[in-house]
Amino acid sequence: MAYYPDWVGSTFPPTRIDFKRVDWIDFAFAVPTEDFSLTWDDPTGPTLLEDLVSSAHSMGAKVKLSIGGWTGSKHFSSAVATPDSRVLFAQNILAVYLQYSLDGIEIDWEYPGQAGSPGNKFHPDDTANFLLFLNILRTVLPPVARITAAVEPTPFVDAAGRPLTDVEEFSKVLDWVLIMNYDIWGSSSHPGPNAPLYDACENSTQPDASAAGAYDAWTKANFPTSKLVLGLPSYGYISSSTEARLRTRSKTKAKKTKSGKIVGDDGDSEGQVQFNELVQQGVLLRSGNDSFHYEVNAESGFEGLWDGCSETPYLRSSIFNQVITYDNPTSLAMKAAFAKKVGMLGINLFDIHGDTDRWDLLDSIRYALELL
């Protein structure tokens, strides 16, 4: 599975997607409004969604609409607060589901019972109300519609703000949950891994925030492993930093190198950077025509390092005082292999436009899942 965000429509239209490599595409995002209807994260959303559904269905892939997101979760709490609002919200989602011939709906509420993005409304009863809403949505949507949720590495919180110890009732109404195993650390002068596989050194300040930690947390709370999907990032973070190691403080193996400061797709030297931008800017080089392996360009001014505590790569330049925390085909394949080993349903990449023209990220994941 992979996400398709509406903000890439002008440079990465749906026709560029190789739908033979995915079973599901999540279109991000539709946004709940104050009157519990849906609007669009971007004005081009409706047209892009129509194109995406048409292209996907012609190739046998399915499309879910992701509702919410980090900046789109302001009105979820109000939308699920009362019996009337829950029914109205569900009916409005049904209308969009039918209008665009969708195959499913994802609720990406960030986060029930917690503030999330500044300005979000939240309430101690959010999680309980969310479950009530999902049960209504299940009765409103056609039986074939998939209903999923994007979630944190730890389960939804109770009225006191603590992770629930039993989420079995959610598993009865949700077809799966997507664990957002990314954005664990962002840009920082003391950077940490974006998407840890493990807390192998047992010294993380966020011990549950890893693929393994999330698996433990959700399964211990009675959510079936077979309904867990592991979310993986196509992007990393640029940090202005002189640190030699990540916050997990692992020993590293360095490959010494010796051209320009890294910038993200918005031109900034802080914030997110897609994997394909690291390739396009000449920092990473593909090691062969038939290989997913990438090496650091010896002329880039960066050295390639590996954080053994999180099992993720990172790049460091003492010339530019930058640290790039990211995932490559190797580290993504390791997480995909973990998901397969423990019996998870699958993998979802956020997002598809960050992959290379050869689809090295998707193919490394598919290889680890034994789909290649």
* Dihedrals phi, psi of 137, to nearest 5 degrees: -60, -35
- Nearest C-alpha neighbor of 350 from the set 335, 367, 368: 335
pLDDT of residue 1 exceeding 50 = yes
- DSSP code for 231: E
CB atoms within 10 A of CB 330: 16
CB atoms within 10 A of CB 144: 7
Average pLDDT for 179-199: 90
Going by pLDDT thresholds of 50, 70 and 90, the confidence category of residue 258 is very low
Q: What is the mean pLDDT of the chain?
A: 93
Average pLDDT for 245-252: 57
Q: In angstroms, how far is the first alpha carbon of the chain from the final one?
A: 15
| Residue 354 near residue 274 (C-beta atoms within 8 A) | yes
Going by pLDDT thresholds of 50, 70 and 90, the confidence category of residue 371 is confident
CB atoms within 10 A of CB 319: 14
Structure tokens, 303: 């050295």
pLDDT of residue 257 exceeding 60 = no
Q: What pLDDT score does 248 carry? A: 57
Going by pLDDT thresholds of 50, 70 and 90, the confidence category of residue 254 is very low
Structure tokens, 192: 């940490």
Contacts of 320 (CB under 8 A, 6+ apart): 260, 261, 262, 301
Gap between the Cα atoms of 112 and 81, Å rounded: 11
Gap between the Cα atoms of 282 and 257, Å rounded: 12
Average pLDDT for 297-326: 94
| Residue 132 near residue 170 (C-beta atoms within 8 A) | no
- Nearest C-alpha neighbor of 85 from the set 138, 120, 34, 148: 34
Going by pLDDT thresholds of 50, 70 and 90, the confidence category of residue 244 is confident
Residue positions counted in the chain: 372
pLDDT of residue 250 exceeding 60 = no
Q: To which residue do tokens 């690291």 refer?
A: 278
- What are the pLDDT digits (tens) for 131-140? 999 999 999 9
Per DSSP, what are the bridge partners of residue 176?
148
- What are the pLDDT digits (tens) for 12-65? 999 999 999 999 999 999 999 999 999 998 899 999 999 999 999 999 999 999
User: What one-letter code names the amino acid at 144?
Assistant: V
Gap between the Cα atoms of 8 and 114, Å rounded: 29
Percent of the chain predicted with pLDDT > 70: 94
Going by pLDDT thresholds of 50, 70 and 90, the confidence category of residue 266 is low
